[in-house]
Amino acid sequence: MRNALLKMAIVLAACVMMLFACRKNGAPVQVAAPSEDALEKIHNLGFSNKNVTIDEDGNYVVEGDIVLSKMHLDAVPEMQFLRVGSEEQYRTNNLVTGVPRVIKISIASKLPSSYTAALDEAIARYNAENLSITFQRVSSGADISIVKGNGNFLASAGFPTSTGNPYSQIKVNSNAIGNQPQATVASILAHEIGHCIGFRHTDYMNRAYSCGGQAVNEGASTIGAVHVPGTPTGPDPNSWMLSCIGSGQNRPFNNNDKIALGYLY
């Protein structure tokens, strides 16, 4: 969502006044700092290797909310994609296949009950676009499981598998999100679902656009980022895949988001 790399009490209150990112300021739970070798591999894959953390499962969290496993780092991509332009819609090389297809999503009972309504809203946003993939909330047998997460991120997810399945898990740090409006939580969940089906951040090449601070140019390497034709080559305000989202903000799909979704699915 450009969302949020979204300390309790005082720190959370301060966070509400600032930007949520797909990763947020919370009490970090890190196993160890990433090695120089891992950081180099992350960069070579076309991701930012700045502010990389390690989650409770030992996976690397990059760009605030994107999960990369050690397997990802050691994989050798079969092709290389190059970036076109500066701020556009981007996808990964892997997409969900076997369409038309219903993608089933479950949400853990450990998360606040209000998040179920937010998930339903996020699902409705996608299903209203008449795509070749649709989404359905289920209690079991899910393709994507939304679970409670910890650490210094707001939410995190990964990208589709090489076999054409969506990434199977979204971690949500409800302690960091706090009592945000339903529409904000829906925007966060829709953003992470976007990663699960193959979307990268819209401001992939300049996270300062939505997050503020120093611009980070991540480059485009092996899996890099693939421009989605028909989307703008300039800044795209309010896109659901911007890296960071403001407190209380709602990010339904804008026109360019709809073009990108329609082009891919």
Bigger pLDDT: 263 vs 226: 263
- Of 162, 105, 161, 111, the C-alpha closest to 136 is 105
**60 pLDDT higher than 90:** no
**4 pLDDT higher than 90:** no
pLDDT (tens digit per residue) in 72-100 = 677 655 443 333 334 456 556 688 999 99
Identify the pLDDT of residue 208. 61
CATH numbers and ranges of domains, the chain? 83-264 (3.40.390.10)
Global pTM? 0.76
Identify the pLDDT of residue 153. 76
pLDDT (tens digit per residue) in 134-159 = 999 999 999 999 999 887 778 999 88
Identify the pLDDT of residue 29. 44
Pick from 213-217, 240-244, 249-253 the range whose average pLDDT is largest. Answer: 249-253
Identify the pLDDT of residue 227. 62
Residue type, 114: S
Identify the pLDDT of residue 114. 95
Q: Which residues of 226-249 are buried (b: 16+ CB within 10 A; e: fewer)?
A: bbbeebbeeebebbbbbbbbbbeb
Q: Which of 24-38, 42-56, 140-154, 240-254 has the lowest mean pLDDT?
A: 24-38
